[in-house]
């Protein structure tokens, strides 16, 4: 479809879904902590809504159906027909785990189901809107490091090596200084940028796994009747993606044992002269050549830290060329410190000898015939890229924005001939964007086409009332219908 294959489309969805599922984990924790903050509820609804639409466009019907069920449950909280209860929060968690399991095989990798209980079902009973649950919440499984980054690093390293060999060949065989060739200089600069980009993408913050750890502590405390406070510091500390992926299982093991075996029951803590509430803390710190991640609890001490925890974690840490340190204080708590190198062995670094890496050639400006310009506004990566591919192939100039505020900033720089927008977006949604366009004398003539999975007659009418010129349903979205609607609106606006 439109120069983008089904596999590429699903790959885009997999990338988008990864970030949205992480955000959902954060939002569900905040939902429990805040007791139903309206903005948190709206954000949860919006994430499920976006996943539903993106999955439908990517052809993942089952994923879209599960996201739709969760969107409807979140909507009952949003409109106030369902009170927030522990059962509802649990339903959202179980449903999100089910959604994650459905997305995993869609990404082309098998779901991680070893040792997990059966996949739960989540839904609403038709009459009361109450929560219906079967099964039990699955254990949190830390993500495996993506193999695609290893392949990218390998290709970048091979390209850099080939480029350097080319430079030497020009000097040795043809007595030509490669730095005097603008084409070689430009290639050096672009390769340097690519190496920088690859290196940046190898690093991820510790925060990408802390929500899962927090969830484990929260679930265990609730299951065993304990009061446990989770604290995390230095979570913006960055670590090699592969190393953090391998350490995530060890960190999960440590926080599970701290909450399960280390922290005492409230009565036992009070008898020992401690606060009834225990604490489990994670702290990440970058030093000159290594990163230290510590997990500390104020529980019983090493006797309560769980059988074999130190040995299994030590093996995992040593596998990534790190070391493990343990300090325990009987009756006062335990600290595990994982110390790993910032630059693990085998990681490619940008060569400082790449010829011409810092020099910029003078760009040559060329005039080109003007094509009609379309601004695509959608917070869903999958849908934005699909729309862009379709429209570019049809000969349009395409700019993209992620929400209404971003779109207005784009339009202030240069107006477009048409705006194609989603409805449910953060910061400023499609309704508000359409009204803002109609209220601005410099923009009011621009046609607005809504493409949304909010496909009820009321939604369409609300969009038209805001000033939209047409509405398309993402559920029935295809290349022909999009281009027909765009062509019709642009023709009518001439």
What pLDDT does 77 receive?
Answer: 92
Q: How far apart are CA 101 and CA 93, in angstroms?
A: 12
pLDDT of residue 491: 80
Other C-beta atoms within 10 Å of 257: how many?
26
Mean pLDDT, residues 1-28 taken together: 80
Give the pLDDT mean for 339-345.
77
Query: Over pLDDT 70: what percentage of the chain?
Result: 79
Burial of 368 from C-beta contacts in 10 A (0-12 / 13-18 / 19+): exposed
Q: How far apart are CA 201 and CA 214, in angstroms?
A: 25
pLDDT at 439: 94
Mean pLDDT of 206-210: 88
| Pairing of the two strands 333-341 and 323-329 | antiparallel
Residue found under tokens 């959604």: 99
Cα gap 84→278, rounded to integer Å:
26
Residues 305, 258 contacting (CB under 8 angstroms): yes
Please give the average per-residue pLDDT across 237-247, as a whole number.
86
pLDDT digits (tens, 9 = 90+) for 348-400: 444 444 344 333 333 333 333 457 899 999 988 888 888 888 888 888 888 98
**Residue 361's pLDDT is what?**
34
Give pLDDT tens digits for 156-176: 777 877 888 888 888 888 888
- What confidence tier does 310 reach under pLDDT thresholds 50, 70, 90? low
Task: State the pLDDT confidence band at 147, using cuts at 50, 70 and 90.
Answer: low
Of the options 3.90.25.10, 3.40.50.1980, 2.60.40.1120, 3.30.565.10, the CATH number for the domain spanning 205-341: 3.30.565.10
Listed in sequence order, the residues at least 6 apart from 339 whose beta carbon sits closer than 8 Å to its beta carbon are: 290, 291, 292, 317, 322, 323, 324, 325
pLDDT band at 198 (very low <50, low <70, confident <90, very high): low
Residue 122 has pLDDT above 50, yes or no: no
**Mind giving me the DSSP string for 78-144?**
HHTSS---HHHHHHHHHHHHHHHHHHHHHTTS----TTPPPPPEEEE-TTT--EEEES-PPPP-PPP
Q: Where are the domains of the chain?
A: 6-118, 147-203, 205-341, 373-492
347 pLDDT band, cuts 50/70/90, is: low
Indicate whether 146 pLDDT > 60: no
d(CA 424, CA 450): 11
- Determine the CATH number of domain 6-118: 1.20.120.160
- CA distances to 20, 180, 260, 273, 409 from 25, rounded to whole Å, are 9, 53, 21, 35, 31
Residue 474 and residue 452 in contact, taking contact as beta carbons nearer than 8 Å: yes
- Please, what is the angle between helix 38-57 and helix 61-79, to 10°? 160
Segments in 404-443 forming alpha helices (H)? 404-413, 430-439
Question: Given a cut of 90, is residue 440 above it in pLDDT?
Answer: yes
Which conformational region is residue 356 in: left (phi greater than 0), alpha (psi within -120 to 50 degrees), or beta? left
pLDDT at 267: 94
Fold assignment, 373-492 = Rossmann fold (3.40.50)
**Between β-strands 333-341 and 203-205, what pairing exists: parallel, antiparallel or unpaired?**
unpaired
Kindly give, in sequence order, each residue whose CB lies less than 8 Å from that of residue 392, ignoring residues fewer than 6 positions away: 3, 398
For residue 44, the surrounding DSSP H or E stretch is helix 38-57
């Amino acid at each position: 479809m439109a120069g983008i294959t089904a596999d590429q489309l699903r790959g885009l969805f997999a990338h988008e879904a990864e970030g949205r599922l992480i955000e959902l984990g954060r939002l569900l924790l905040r939902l429990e902590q805040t007791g139903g903050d309206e903005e948190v509820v709206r954000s949860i609804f919006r994430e499920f809504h976006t996943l539903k639409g993106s999955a439908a466009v990517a052809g993942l019907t089952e994923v879209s159906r599960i996201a739709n069920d969760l969107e409807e449950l979140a909507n009952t909280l949003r409109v106030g027909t369902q009170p927030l209860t522990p059962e509802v929060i649990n339903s959202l968690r179980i449903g999100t785990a089910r959604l994650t399991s459905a997305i995993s095989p869609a990404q082309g990798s098998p779901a991680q189901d070893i040792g997990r209980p059966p996949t739960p079902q989540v839904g609403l009973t038709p009459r009361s809107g109450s929560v219906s649950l079967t099964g039990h919440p699955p254990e949190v499984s830390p993500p495996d490091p993506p193999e695609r980054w290893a392949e990218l690093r390998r290709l970048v390293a091979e390209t850099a090596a080939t480029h350097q060999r080319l430079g030497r060949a020009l000097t040795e065989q043809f007595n030509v200084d490669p730095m005097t060739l603008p084409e070689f200089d430009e290639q050096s600069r672009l390769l340097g940028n690519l190496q920088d980009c690859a290196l940046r993408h190898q690093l991820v913050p510790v925060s990408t796994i802390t929500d899962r750890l927090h969830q484990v502590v929260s679930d265990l405390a609730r299951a065993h009747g304990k009061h446990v406070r989770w604290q995390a510091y230095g979570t913006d500390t960055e670590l090699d993606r592969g190393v953090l992926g391998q350490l995530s299982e060890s960190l999960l093991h440590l926080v599970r044992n701290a909450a399960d075996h280390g922290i005492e029951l409230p009565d036992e803590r009070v008898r020992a002269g401690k606060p009834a509430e225990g604490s489990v803390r994670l702290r990440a710190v970058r030093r000159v050549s290594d990163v230290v991640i510590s997990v500390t609890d104020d529980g019983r001490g090493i006797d309560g830290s769980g059988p074999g925890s130190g040995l299994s974690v030590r093996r995992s840490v040593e596998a990534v060329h790190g070391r493990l340190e343990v300090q325990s204080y009987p009756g006062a708590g335990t600290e595990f410190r994982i110390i790993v190198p910032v630059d693990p062995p085998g990681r490619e670094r940008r060569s400082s000898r790449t010829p011409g890496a810092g020099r910029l050639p003078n760009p040559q400006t060329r005039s080109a015939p003007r094509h009609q310009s379309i601004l695509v506004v959608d917070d869903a990566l999958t849908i934005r890229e699909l729309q862009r591919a379709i429209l570019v192939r049809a000969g349009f100039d395409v700019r993209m924005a992620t929400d209404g505020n971003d779109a207005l900033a784009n339009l202030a720089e240069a107006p477009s001939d048409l705006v194609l927008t989603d409805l449910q977006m953060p910061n400023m949604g499609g309704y508000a964007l359409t009204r803002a366009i109609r209220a601005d004398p410099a923009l009011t003539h621009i046609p607005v086409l809504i493409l949304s999975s909010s496909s009820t007659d009321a939604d369409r009418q609300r969009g038209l009332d805001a000033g939209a010129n047409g509405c398309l349903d993402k559920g029935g979205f295809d290349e022909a219908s999009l281009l027909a609607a765009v062509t019709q609106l642009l023709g009518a606006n001439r």
